[in-house]
């Protein structure tokens, strides 16, 4: 390895109480047929994750955050490190996921053959490997990833890359050009939504996202406890609002939307429509909770090519 890591792949794993998966996750990266450097950014685990990494994986670089930075901002540390060290790619892998030995090498090779791919991802299987990961299967349905399902069924995928609108960031190979042009994850998204926003920005800057189904990643996220980021409707509504206004292809103005809700509120009040009054008040409150002025400022930043948010 060069002293500055030039040409290497930096694998980045963000951990938070991930001790149950570390052997499979980190072991798979260290067993890659294409040698990679591995960086773990720990988000303040309380289950012994950092100590376990130091004990079992001394060759893995560990950065311990003083607090939980969230998925996106912790990954940004890894992306910034990849840029600073001259890495050719960053490979983001969830703590509850693991790759097969040839996965990363195949992704890098596919990336080298077509520079328009900003992000490449393997086929996502569930933990046991007996089915597609459910969220992944929804992301690559025929309207969003043309041809993949048909070719899987007919066993003719070969080494073809299939363009997709979105794939979650459980296993992303990100090119250096993408990091330099699109940047990192927007910090307005603490947990969830950051990868949706990143892909929107990727497309805005003229890069593509692809799936290479000839190689796989296992994502062991079944049988989990309740997830407040999805189970609590209010959290989901605020995140959806942020995503809409953060999209660089969207010119929506929070003030225009606010005034529209205020007009509708007044109209509902004058007609004594209590249900509509409550609805408009709630929509105005949602605009405040989403802190859209900050979101729109970040949207403007994201429109300029560069290592934004890194």
Q: Are residues 60 and 204 in the same domain?
A: yes
Q: What pLDDT was estimated at residue 5?
A: 45
Q: Is the same domain home to 76 and 163? A: yes
Count other C-beta atoms under 10 Å from residue 7's C-beta.
12
Shared domain check, 242 and 194: no
Asked if the structure places residue 276 within a domain, the reply is yes
Phi, psi (5° rounding) for residue 168?
-65, 160
Lowest mean pLDDT among 110-119, 197-206, 231-240: 231-240
Whether 242 and 176 map to the same domain: the answer is no
Q: pLDDT class for 280, splitting at 50, 70, 90?
A: confident
Task: Please check whether residue 310 lies inside any domain of the structure.
Answer: no
Q: Which residues contact 10 (CB under 8 A, 6 or more apart)?
A: 36, 37, 38, 39, 78, 81, 82, 85, 87, 89, 90, 91
Between 178 and 4, the more confident residue is 178
- Domain extent, residue 205, equals 9-224
Is 284 found in the same domain as 197? no
Q: What average pLDDT does this structure show over 22-44?
A: 97
**Which of 175, 206, 224 is the last residue in one of the domains?**
224
Given 193, 224, 255, the domain boundary residue is 224
Please compute Rg for the chain using Cα positions.
Answer: 21
Judgement on whether residues 218 and 167 belong to the same structural domain of the protein: yes
Q: What is the mean pLDDT of residues 118-123?
A: 98
169 and 28 share a domain?
A: yes
What is the rounded average pLDDT of the residues 268-292?
A: 90
**Token pair belonging to 106:** 């195949």
**Widest distance between CA atoms in the chain:** 73
Task: Provide mean pLDDT across the span 176-182.
Answer: 98
* 210 and 237, same domain (yes or no): no
Q: Are residues 152 and 87 in the same domain?
A: yes
Q: How many domains does the chain have?
A: 2
Q: Same structural domain for residues 213 and 237?
A: no
Instruction: Of 1, 28, 3, 33, give the one whose Cα is nearest residue 13.
Output: 28
Domain boundary at 172, 207, 224, which?
224
DSSP-derived 3-state class of residue 214: strand
- Give the CATH number, domain containing residue 69: 3.90.550.10
For residues 151 and 204, the answer to whether their CB atoms sit within 8 Å is no
Tens of pLDDT, residue by residue over 192-224, are: 899 999 999 999 999 999 999 999 999 998 555
Are 292 and 176 contained in the same domain? Answer: no
């Amino acid at each position: 390895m060069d002293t500055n890591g030039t040409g290497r792949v930096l694998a980045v794993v963000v951990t938070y109480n991930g001790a149950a998966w570390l052997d499979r996750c980190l072991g798979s990266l260290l067993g890659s047929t294409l040698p990679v450097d591995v960086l773990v950014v720990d988000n303040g685990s309380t289950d012994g994750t950092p100590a376990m990494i130091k004990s079992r994986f001394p060759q893995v670089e560990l950065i311990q955050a003083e607090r939980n930075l969230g998925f996106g901002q912790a990954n940004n540390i890894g992306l910034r490190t990849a840029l600073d060290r001259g890495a050719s790619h960053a490979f983001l892998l969830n703590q509850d996921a693991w790759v097969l030995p040839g996965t990363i090498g195949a992704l890098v090779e596919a990336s080298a053959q077509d520079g328009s791919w900003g992000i490449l991802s393997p086929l996502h299987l569930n933990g046991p490997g007996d089915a597609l990961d459910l969220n992944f299967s929804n992301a690559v349905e025929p309207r969003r990833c043309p041809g993949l399902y048909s070719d899987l069924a007919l066993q003719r995928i070969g080494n073809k890359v299939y363009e997709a609108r979105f794939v979650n960031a459980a296993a992303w190979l990100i090119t250096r050009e993408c990091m330099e042009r699109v940047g990192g994850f927007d910090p307005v998204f603490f947990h969830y939504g950051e990868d949706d926003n990143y892909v929107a920005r990727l497309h805005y800057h003229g890069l593509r996202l692809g799936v290479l189904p000839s190689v796989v990643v296992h994502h062991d996220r079944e049988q989990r406890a309740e997830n407040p980021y999805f189970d609590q409707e209010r959290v989901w509504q605020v995140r959806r609002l942020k995503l809409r206004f953060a999209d660089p292809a969207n010119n929506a103005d929070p003030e225009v939307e606010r005034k529209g809700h205020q007009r509708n509120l007044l109209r509902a009040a004058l007609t004594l429509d209590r249900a509509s009054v409550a609805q408009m008040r709630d929509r105005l409150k949602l605009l405040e909770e989403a802190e859209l002025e900050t979101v729109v400022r970040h949207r403007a930043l994201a429109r300029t090519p560069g290592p934004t948010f890194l």
